[in-house]
Amino acid sequence: MMNLKLNQFWLSISIFTFLIFMSLFVFFKSYTEKMTILFEWQLLSVLGKSVEFIILLDLFSISFFVTVMIITTSVLVFSNSYMNNDLFFTRFHMILYSFVLSMVLLIFSPNLVSVLIGWDGLGMSSYLLVIYYSSEKSFKAGMITALTNRVGDALLIIYISMSVYLWTLSANLIQYVSMMNYTGLGLVFLVAVSTKSAQIPFSAWLPAAMAAPTPVSALVHSSTLVTAGIYLMFRFNMIYSDVVITNYLLWTGSMTMFLASLSALSEMDMKKMVALSTLSQLGVMTLAMGSNLPLLGFLHLLAHAYFKALLFLSTGSMIHACGSYQDMRKSGSVLEVMPVSSSIMLICLLSLMGAPFMVGFYSKETIIESMMLMSLNSLPWLLMLMGVLLTGIYSMRMLYTISLSSSNQHSLHTKMDSDWLINTSMFILMIPGSCGGVLLNVIFFKSYTLVISTMQIKMLIYFMLFMAMLILPLMNMLKYTSNKHTQWVWTNLWNLPLFSGAAPLQLLGLRGIKLNYLNDYSWIYALKTTSILNSGEILSKSSTMYNSNKFSRFIRISLLYIVLLLLLFM
């Protein structure tokens, strides 16, 4: 079994490494010769309507593909250590391969039908990865993820059916059609892709999806799946000529950025906090698209994918070394015992804040400065600045809590950076995650991006970061998380999970609690192992519903155990 797993691991690494080098060769060929390759096959033609399968190879599709392949290779190396004792490791690999295949189909094909196939494949494989661990929490998160993705699938089908009116199903041809008279069509498309990119009001599924294994979070829910919607926005960027559409993007992007940053202030779960930071950066990308800065938005998409996947791997390394504790308060004082993971986390958090000369600096700060020079609505502009301030606060809070604060963990757990597979996976992403900003800037802009702005605008961003450093200790002294009701509202995205889960069921006339019991609890426990411990736990919990008296409960549980033993050994 061990040899089979090892052979499977090295075969996967070899295939993905070969794909990386081949795609890099095509990328530099396309970059040096200014070449775009288009393959087209006509599948069928009915009543003058043709359905083609198209593969588009240009700088943007190949660069995104290289990003996906590098992150996938790193995650495979990481998962071989992180999930070494998992019984269904082969199944995990198969689902991961299906996800990558769906992602490749979405990246290279501008045809709407093949995009829909890749889109559905992403949703299905994402759902299977979220419910990978058989637990109540995983199934609830998977249900929210599946329902949200189904909304996006339905809207994308509506968009495709409406696009037939334009006499083509190819995105590279649709973008040259004037969309001024198709505001409704553009809004349908944007709402559809907003479900994958977790924009308001579809933001609840992304923090809930952290119930998946950490390697899944690093690949799927931080750098690839959530950016698939942004990538489609970039491909269809010509539909943003309408004022209604641009206002929709500005409002959803700014509100998502502010909401996610505010919720991250009170979050103690490390994975959920990183997920909320992902949600905040998705808002930045949406703001770039709404501000008619699609190239800067795509640049931030690539830069964010590298440093956010690296941040997830460093966080997963700490979780793995701390006995699977995800609470930041249980993982303090790791700077001395885990210097590699702590240093990498510091680099990623600096990139997240847009610190000078980090990978996020060349895209995020340029987007913010460019937006400040535009005549935008004042409220989205203010929400964006508040999001920048809150991003600095929760990033430094995470760094301080994990690296510098005192540890409350059990002394039996030994933390160290001795796992060479985990360290190797982080070093693979270290170069693009720390120095990739300059390279991406030169490739897509032929030179360093120059934004002519006033000294006041440039200093305002650094003033916000400096204010974050001052506000953080003040918030710690005031014990801002002591109010449980306030903390619950903040960490639950202002009750958006209620909107995503319970509200649709109420509209269907179904009671959420009863439906949850009938559909979740019953089949979860049916799938669990029928050991005496699990059966006794279920029976003991069910017995508490009938009597609260301790002695009577003890008698009932004892009788249930006796009956259970007789049934098992008769």
* Average pLDDT of the residues in 186-213: 83
Q: Which residue has the higher pLDDT, 179 or 16?
A: 16
CB atoms within 10 A of CB 242: 18
What average pLDDT does the chain have?
73
Q: Mapping DSSP to helix (H, G, I), strand (E, B) and coil, where does residue 306 land?
A: helix
Q: What is the DSSP letter of 212?
A: S
Question: What's the chain's Rg over C-alpha atoms?
Answer: 25
Binned at pLDDT 50, 70 and 90, residue 472 comes out as low
State yes or no: pLDDT of 10 exceeds 60: yes
Separation of alpha carbons 283 and 295, rounded Å: 15
Binned at pLDDT 50, 70 and 90, residue 88 comes out as confident
The 10s digit of each residue's pLDDT in 380-415 is 888 888 888 888 888 888 877 776 666 665 554 555
The 10s digit of each residue's pLDDT in 102-156 is 888 888 887 777 888 888 888 888 888 888 877 777 788 788 888 888 888 888 8
Separation of alpha carbons 512 and 181, rounded Å: 41
String of b and e for 384-396 (b: at least 16 CB within 10 Å)?
Answer: bbbbbbbbbbbbb
Q: What is the DSSP letter of 291?
A: T
DSSP-assigned letters across all residues of 259-284: HHHHHHTS--BHHHHHHHHHHHHHHH
Task: For residue 57, give the nearest of 18, 93, 95, 31 by alpha carbon.
Answer: 31
Structure tokens at 201: 């009001």
Determine the pLDDT at residue 178: 43
C-alpha distance from residue 240 to each of 179, 300, 453, 539 (Å): 8, 19, 25, 58
Q: Mapping DSSP to helix (H, G, I), strand (E, B) and coil, where does residue 234 land?
A: helix
Structure tokens at 289: 């698209």
Residues facing 41 on adjacent strands = 53
DSSP-assigned letters across all residues of 510-563: --HHHHHIIIIIHHHHHHS---HHHHHHHHHHHHTTT---HHHHHHHHHHHHHH
**What's at 274, amino acid-wise?**
V
Q: What is the DSSP letter of 447?
A: S
Percent of the chain with pLDDT over 70: 66
Structure tokens at 24: 């890099």
Task: For residue 332, give the nearest of 279, 406, 392 by alpha carbon.
Answer: 406
Percent of the chain with pLDDT over 90: 0
Q: How many residues does the chain have?
A: 570
**Neighbouring residues of 180: CB distance < 8 A, sequence distance ≥ 6:** 241, 242
State yes or no: pLDDT of 534 exceeds 70: no
* Average pLDDT of the residues in 72-76: 86
